[in-house]
Amino acid sequence: MTSGSVPLRVLVVDDEPAIRRFLRAGLSSQGYVVTDIEDGLPAVDIARRKATDLIVLDLGLPDIDGTEVIGRIRAAGSAVPIIVLSSRSDEAAKVDALDLGADDFVTKPFGIDELLARIRAAQRHRLQQEGETPIFRGGDLSVDLVRRIVTVRGAEVKFSPREYAVLRLLVQHAGKVLTHKMILREVWGGDTDVQYLRIYVRALRQKIEADPERPVHILTETGVGYRLRIND
């Protein structure tokens, strides 16, 4: 739970005292240094000052909406990982938060083990982005972004240019949920029906998954988008 010998700092932003107490206890027991607040504006200031390593953010806050918090943090140039934690289960809320720059979305009620796994994935994604790792490895999948070589279970796999473009985008953001809108914008320029994306993801799964009907690499976030899994 640490970077070197320095404990990771987690900022919990939630207006429910019981949730803050629960998260403080659960995260502290795993070695995180936890600060908890109930308002969004102080969170923006903390992120700007680089005084936290990761934010767990509720959307329904007393002062400003959590989506505005995300927008302000990203507009300030901060790349701090943000995991949205909210009782809003509708897909539109998830898409809005992710499109604004959140790394992940966990719906209340939730288990602490699930949240810890999402925190680890978000942190690994951020470290990967900062390190610009040219080779991604996850289980039996290996993607060399420099040489444009993809191997599965030791055998090289060929892709069409569009298939590779989708896979490359997922690899570059491994561990992060990418919305349909973002993928379509980056790969197709945005002017394409989401059904085309589903077709290409299906084709990718046929090539890289041992069982395409039970994917372990490219995971679906129903109604939202896709995530390339980072193995623990």
The predicted pLDDT at position 205 comes to 97
Residues paired with 203 in a beta bridge: none
Percent of the chain that is helix, strand, coil (3-state, to 5)? 40, 20, 35
Question: What is the per-residue pLDDT across 123-139, written as a single tens digit (0 to 9) for each?
Answer: 877 766 665 567 888 88
Assigned token pair, 158:
């060929």
Name the average pLDDT for the chain: 89
Most confident of the following: 61-70, 103-112, 118-127: 61-70
Structure tokens at 64: 């400003």
Q: What is the DSSP letter of 118?
A: H
pLDDT tens-digit profile of 2-58?
444 468 899 999 999 999 999 999 999 999 999 999 999 999 999 999 999 999 999
